[in-house]
Chains A and B, each alone.
Chain A
Amino acid sequence: MDTRTEEFLEYVQSGGQVETGDWMPDEYRSRLVKFIEMHGNSELMGVLPERDWILRAPTLQRKLALTAKIQDEVGHAQLIYRVVEDLGKPRSACLDDLVSGTAKFHNVFHYPTRTWGDVGVIAWLVDAAAIVSQKALLKCSYAPYARIMKKICWEESFHILHGRDVILAMVTGTDEQFGLVQEALDRWWEPLMHFHGNPIPADEDPMVVWRIKSQANEEARQQFLDGYVPQIRELGLEVPDPALRKDEETGHWRYTEPDWERLRSVVTGHGPASAERLAFRRLSRDDVAWVERVVLAEAA
């Protein structure tokens, strides 16, 4: 590592923040691009599981709220791709890589949404897990990303409340409704445990070393479990992991080790809904290509 890079590393590790025009090591830039691009992809792909339920939402109020949430997520993708563009990768290139399957998106968006229970679990727990990660990104060493994360976190907090409200309506409804939530939770638990990644120690995680992330994967998962397992259990729902318990001495949650090989396989495009979602994204990109042409012609 050359002196300049060493100084840069020391700067970010001591809390220093970097702006778009500042000098940065190539490795830092490429890690930023990859990470932030994946975040943008995830926001964009994350609307598809919920989109499936716009037409089937149980009430008009729910339909409107779900549509607003979906608009937010697409808006986040816009903000995030803008940050990636300033780092040197155009949005069209991000979308090309997304639909061709060479770029990744978050594991939770590779799964189908079978029932309205899934919609509740996604909006409540998947968004809760995401907020844990995103709050930690408020301290990201790359300042433009940290700044837009403030806006994103603000909007996500409404999503969690919306999700919790959906869940509460169902767990106070008929036995069948309660059953739908439990069944969705059973299916979503493993993806949720995968969400924050394998428990790589902070000092071996290049994302933490460069202070792109400010917390280790396991720390994020523990924070999620700490915040949400009690909220799940108080509703009479059962977390489908008999080994899950909080070690009162250490304050650390113990759980059955998730299958990390499955996570790797899911995020590389082999999840239960990966192919279908990518096909849909490809289709809609082709479908709306004319809009882009018209807009650009109009502006020219």
Chain B
Amino acid sequence: MIFEVFRRERKGQPFQHAGSLAAPDEAFAEIYAREQYGRRQESVALWLVPREDVHEIDEFPDEFEMKYRRVDGYSIKARLHEARERAGTLDMAPGAGGTG
């Protein structure tokens, strides 16, 4: 069996994928994981997951380009300029040399 190994380096940190190991069963996998990924106190916790139990999703189609959900979907520069112009506060804008 192949087990994927995830390790937590310090408390409060997320588990990160560390590598994999081959073992005949879970009991051996635990021994091997302790030896290979934890014997120097480099981990505070390990997760062992049989490789076939990992459900991977690696395609994220975005056919409709729903940009309104993202920061790069908004370009406010021109509108902000217009709003400041109307309010007469252009000199207060950052970088305008005013007091703002």
Interface residues of A (CB under 8 A from B): 75, 78-79, 82, 85-86, 91, 144, 147-148, 151, 154-155, 295-296, 298-300
Contacts and interface: CB of A to CB of B under 8 A. Distances in A.
9 contacts: A75-B36, A78-B36, A79-B19, A79-B36, A86-B20, A91-B22, A144-B19, A154-B42, A296-B24
B21 A295 contact: no
B21 A78 contact: yes
Nearest to B58: A21
Contact of B28 (A78, A154, A299): A299
B22 A82 contact: yes
Contact of A295 (B19, B24, B36): B24
Interchain residue pairs A-B with the least CB separation, the first 7: A299-B24, A299-B25, A148-B19, A296-B24, A75-B36, A82-B20, A295-B24
A16 B35 CA distance: 32
Interface string B10-21: 000000011111
Q: How large is the interface on B (under 10, 10 to 19, 20 to 34, 35 or more residues)?
A: 10 to 19
A86 B2 CA distance: 10
Interface of B: 17-25, 27-28, 32, 35-36, 40, 42
A82 B20 CA distance: 7
Nearest to A144: B19
Contact of A75 (B24, B27, B35): B35
Contacts of A147: 17, 19
B78 to A, nearest CB: 35
B5 to A, nearest CB: 10
B22 A85 contact: yes
Nearest to B29: A299
Contacts of B28: 295, 299
Given A75-B35, A75-B36, A155-B40, A82 B25 contact: no
A299 B40 CA distance: 27
Contacts of B32: 78
A73 to B, nearest CB: 13
A268 B32 CA distance: 33
Contacts of A300: 24
Q: Which of B17, B28, B40 has the largest count of A CB atoms less than 10 A from its CB?
A: B40
Contacts of A296: 24
Contacts of B40: 155
Contacts of B36: 75, 78-79
B90 to A, nearest CB: 44
B22 to A, nearest CB: 6
A75 B33 CA distance: 11
Contacts of B25: 299
A151 B75 CA distance: 44
Contacts of A91: 22
A78 B37 CA distance: 11
